[in-house]
Amino acid sequence: MTRETTPTARPRKRLLAAVLLLAALASGCGKPGTPPPKGPQPSALPTYQVRDASSITGSPTLDAARSRGHLVVGAKEDQPYLGQKNPATGEYSGFDIEIAKMVGAYLGFPPERIQFKTIASANRETALQNGQVDYYVGTYTINDNRKKLVGFAGPYFIAGQSLLVRKNDNSIHGPQDLDGKKVCSAAGSTPYQRIQSQFPKAKLIGYDTYSACVDNLITNQVDAVTTDNAILLGYAAKVPDELKVVGPPFSVEPYGIGVPKNDTVLRNAINDALEYNEQNGDWRRAFEATLGLSGEPAPTPPPIDRY
């Protein structure tokens, strides 16, 4: 009797390993059987003092939120340390979520009166234009093209584009090595657009989310995932034996808070909120309890651009 060491045995084994890894990623844990990496510790998170914001008048967005009784804030739900939704409780956590909460408190809304709504990179401008969200906090780069469609408060953080590859890959060190490689990013994002225009020999693949790209990287269907270093570090930290971030960042991505284009009152108030929290130390505390867990020391917050 021949043993079943047929050519299918190996791929099947590899498939099983990939399935286990994906399950571990989905459940928010590291490798099966290992303790989960440190997540945001609720006790380390600041409590933002809710202000009386009745002196802020003339913002149609804020007026609508006040009569509705709660804010609706757009966010990401699959970006570790930045914006992540707990599938069991529906709760959102991460640095972007803390930024959204500190701004909410400054505008008079306690966290229980903020409803988060997941919006993918490609749909942010439409969501703000259609009034689906009051403001958006989700690794959202400020740039002139987007400013034609929406307004931006901030920046509140500066990231840079980088690359995530499999740990055993020694062929990719930077974007110059992407010729002929399958590279995945989120449609509608600045990293996607940069690869398309500056590295046209890469085989670019667009998905709605970066987590879909990471799944494809783990199962060998793409060779690299590209987006901001802050996002990639979170994925790498979840499966450090399988994935690594390579090369220095090759762009500047200033993160802003998206608001409806003509609501200048709201944009100014959010800028005030950011400055207030940067000065009182809550911005730093929020960073250290969230994104800081990926190993990055808290930077000095960038100056607010009141354009």
> Which residue ranges make up the site for ligand GLU (CB under 6 A)?
121, 138-141, 186, 189-191, 227-228, 253
What separation, in Å, do the N-terminal and C-terminal C-alpha atoms of the chain show?
77
Contact status, residue 156 vs residue 102, Cβ threshold 8 Å: no
Q: How far is the CB of 209 from ligand GLU (least distance, A)?
A: 9
Q: Which is nearer to ligand GLU, 84 or 227 (CB)?
A: 227
Give CA torsion, residues 136, 142, 146, 149, to 10 deg.
Answer: 50
Nearer to ligand GLU (CB atom), residue 24 or residue 274: 274
Nearest approach, Cβ of residue 6 and ligand GLU (Å): 43
Helices 264-279 and 60-68 pack at an angle, to 10 degrees, of: 80
* Spatial contact of 217 and 184, defined as CB atoms under 8 Å apart: yes
Q: Please give the backbone phi and psi of residue 110, each rounded to the nearest 5 degrees, phi first.
A: -70, 165
| Sheet-wide strand order for 83-85 | 78-79, 83-85, 92-93
Rounded least distance, CB 167 to ligand GLU, Å = 23
Nearer to ligand GLU, 51 or 194 (CB): 194
Task: Find the shortest distance in angstroms from Cβ 93 to ligand GLU.
Answer: 17
Task: Give whichever of 76 and 101 is closer to ligand GLU, judged by the CB atom.
Answer: 76
Comparing CB distances to ligand GLU, the nearer of 61 and 227 is 227
In the complex, what is the shortest distance from the CB of residue 225 to ligand GLU, in angstroms, rounded to a whole number?
12
- 61 or 189, CB closer to ligand GLU? 189
Q: Which residues sit opposite 255 in a β-bridge?
A: 141, 157
Nearest residue to 301 (alpha-carbon basis) of 134, 98, 127, 45: 98
Give the residue with the Cβ less far from ligand GLU, 253 or 278.
253
Distance (Å, whole) CA 105 – CA 95: 15
Torsions phi, psi of 130, nearest 5? -90, 0
Among 168, 116, 158, which Cα is nearest to 137's? Answer: 116
CB of 103 to ligand GLU, least distance (A): 18
Token representation of residue 141: 């780069």
Closest CB 211 distance from ligand GLU, rounded Å:
12
Query: For residues 142 and 178, which CB has a smaller minimum distance to ligand GLU in the complex?
Result: 142
**CB 54 → ligand GLU: shortest distance, Å?**
33
- Cis geometry, peptide bond prior to residue 80 (ω within 30 degrees of 0): no
Whether the Cβ atoms of residue 254 and residue 155 lie closer than 8 Å to each other: yes
